[in-house]
Structure 1
Amino acid sequence: MSDRYGTDVLSGDWRAPRGGRAVPTEAESGLVVEDVQTGFVGAVVRVEKAGGMQVLHLEDRHGRTKGFPLGPGFLLDGKPVILTPPTAESRQALAQARAATSRTASGSRAVAHAPARVAAGSRIFVEGRHDAELVEKIWGDDLRVEGVVVELLEGVDDLSAVIRDFAPSRDRRMGVLVDHLVPGTKEDRIVRAAEKLPQSRWVRILGHPYVDVWQSVRPARLGLTAWPVIERGRPWKESVLAELGWAHRNQADVARGWKQILGSVRSYGDLEPTLLASVEELIDFVTVPQED
């Protein structure tokens, strides 16, 4: 027999909010949640104690990080949750999962506990220290596994002489990364001359179109839509720092500026594709056996 008055409106959890009651949820690393009060959406990067309370740190898709008190006030997939500290069991499970699928900053699969190989005969040469530090940050793990050393050229003006001194061969290959390798430039002429050397068969010279390796960092990592355009004749790095509103008076300021730029780089996804393609090809050239 049907109930002409329907169900009892007071039965059940009638005091529950329209979106449902908040469910306790562990704040595991990588969990994406929204702070109800501010609308900030980000992935959990860490939970720590600060000032006698548990603080949750979220990182949004732009790389910005904010801290929030751990507890209620968050949404997960649109549903309210109360975030709780991750348990030891969940941390262990997460660590095991990461170990099984971990990647280096370059995106390749990490080799756990692999010692660096004895340096091979092949080398990758880059123009300056900033280039070397960027290559180390992204590809350092890969290069150590392969036993490949990165060396500094301190400019490419004497590239042909460096190639002759290095004496490349089939088992002693030479990869070179050149800044601002654009048709018609001084760098382009130097590279064309070097490629005519008899030893060039065992040399691969690649580059990127940027005035400096700084520009290979995606500008969004610094909150920019594009890198500043500096007119010819002005010192490039100091002028870029000035445009960004950073200290730029001396070499120490340049070093601090580069440290901040490099610190914004987390993985290969923060670099421009042109640089990525060149470095990856150079690594393949000096590590993968080629036919005679």
Structure 2
Amino acid sequence: MNRPPGGYDRYGTDVLAAGRPKKRELPEVAAETGLVVEDVETGWVGAVVRVEKSGGLHVVVLEDRRGKTRTFELGPGFWVDGVPVRLVPPVAAGAAGPVRTASGSYAVAGARARVARASRILVEGLHDAELVEKVWGADLRVEGVVVQPLHGVDDLAAAVREFGPGPGRRIGVLVDHLVSGSKEWHEAVAVAQRVPGAAAHVLVVGHPYVDVWQGVRPARLGLAEWPVIPKGRPWKEGVLAELGWPHATQADVARGWKRILGSVTSYADLEPALLGRVEELIDFVTGDSADR
């Protein structure tokens, strides 16, 4: 996948400028929905909810991690990822210039979804599938790759074997918490031992996070880091409690995840350890030999 110059005047136009320090130009950042920013003057940290005009001015509405909102005028006076920036309105749809997908790839103009390949990418659960779809969905449709949730990896070898991997039918698997000695690590080892043809037609990769939620950069939620939840306490409910969000029911968990997912607008909102693994799987299932 492809990932993403300015003029230079050596003399300038102000003959007295040589004796004065140059004013630093702030980088411009589009106030896209979900972008987490900090207002320097007030210290307010929140995600962009919308940009609108008010009294002839462009303003941005920011929502903090407790769901409260405040409105600020666009322009200088903001920080993004610890860097001072000038917030500007998002680029209107249809503006000139190359279009990129959420994964950072160049969009293929006029491309239609390809008929689904026999090859598949399997992920642990629905949240994993939704996150992959949000960031890589446009690329996957062009490639004809379907992402399917497994709803757990208690018997990963059996699940992979059921898909019948072989020539022209590659299976890529994304596993949470794939660290040496973990339950997930043992399940991955079992695939290699118990699935015929696994060495050539199956790729199991994983990230180190307890849950795919942690693959989202904590700064997108106004956090320095994800909360540490003690063993024995349900992880997702514990995270929501630490965030001050409702967490008593499964419906609360579902709504909490939607808020987290809503903070993701592109690959830049995800941790590299997750990004690399997903792209590795896409490359594997779309490789030249996958359809032979």
Confirm or deny a common fold (TM above 0.5). yes
Structure 1 residues not aligned, in runs of 5+: 1-27, 77-85
Alpha-carbon distance in 2 for matches of 1:214, 1:106: 17
Alpha-carbon distance in 2 for matches of 1:39, 1:102: 34
Give the one of 160, 172, 175 matched to 1:175: 172
Q: Closer, same or farther in 2 for the Cα pair 1:127/1:37, shift >3 Å? A: closer
Two-structure CA RMSD over aligned residues (Å) = 3.4
Paired position in structure 1 for 2:127: 130
> Which secondary structure does the structure 1 equivalent of 2:173 belong to?
strand
Paired position in structure 1 for 2:212: 213
Alpha-carbon distance in 2 for matches of 1:148, 1:107: 18
Q: Are the aligned partners of 2:53 and 2:59 in contact in 1 as well (CA < 8 Å)?
A: no
Give the one of 190, 197, 222 matched to 1:199: 197
How far apart are residue 47 of structure 1 and its match?
Answer: 6.0
Give the one of 40, 53, 56 matched to 1:54: 56
Percent identity of the aligned residues? 63
Alpha-carbon distance in 2 for matches of 1:54, 1:138: 34
Give the TM-score normalised by structure 1: 0.72
Aligned residues: 238
Alpha-carbon distance in 2 for matches of 1:168, 1:103: 32
Residue identity matched to 1:165: E
Paired position in structure 2 for 1:156: 153
Query: 1:248-287: per-residue Cα shift (whole Å, max 9, x none)?
Result: 1000000011011111111111111010000000000001
Paired position in structure 1 for 2:144: 147
How far apart are residue 36 of structure 1 and its match?
Answer: 12
How far apart are residue 30 of structure 1 and its match?
Answer: 4.0
Higher relative contact order (CA 8 A, sep 6+): 2
Query: 1:207-242: per-residue Cα shift (whole Å, max 9, x none)?
Result: 101110001111111111111111111111001111
Alpha-carbon distance in 2 for matches of 1:101, 1:129: 32
Q: Are the aligned partners of 1:29 and 1:46 in contact in 2 as well (CA < 8 Å)?
A: no
Alpha-carbon distance in 2 for matches of 1:265, 1:282: 20
How far apart are residue 111 of structure 1 and its match?
Answer: 1.4
Q: Are the aligned partners of 2:51 and 2:60 in contact in 1 as well (CA < 8 Å)?
A: no
Alpha-carbon distance in 2 for matches of 1:261, 1:275: 16
Alpha-carbon distance in 2 for matches of 1:172, 1:48: 48
Q: Closer, same or farther in 2 for the Cα pair 1:285/1:75, shift >3 Å? A: closer
How far apart are residue 38 of structure 1 and its match?
Answer: 7.7
Paired position in structure 2 for 1:245: 244
Q: Are the aligned partners of 1:179 and 1:211 in contact in 2 as well (CA < 8 Å)?
A: yes
Q: Closer, same or farther in 2 for the Cα pair 1:233/1:122, shift >3 Å? A: same
Structure 2 residues not aligned, in runs of 5+: 1-27, 32-38, 78-88
Alpha-carbon distance in 2 for matches of 1:69, 1:225: 25
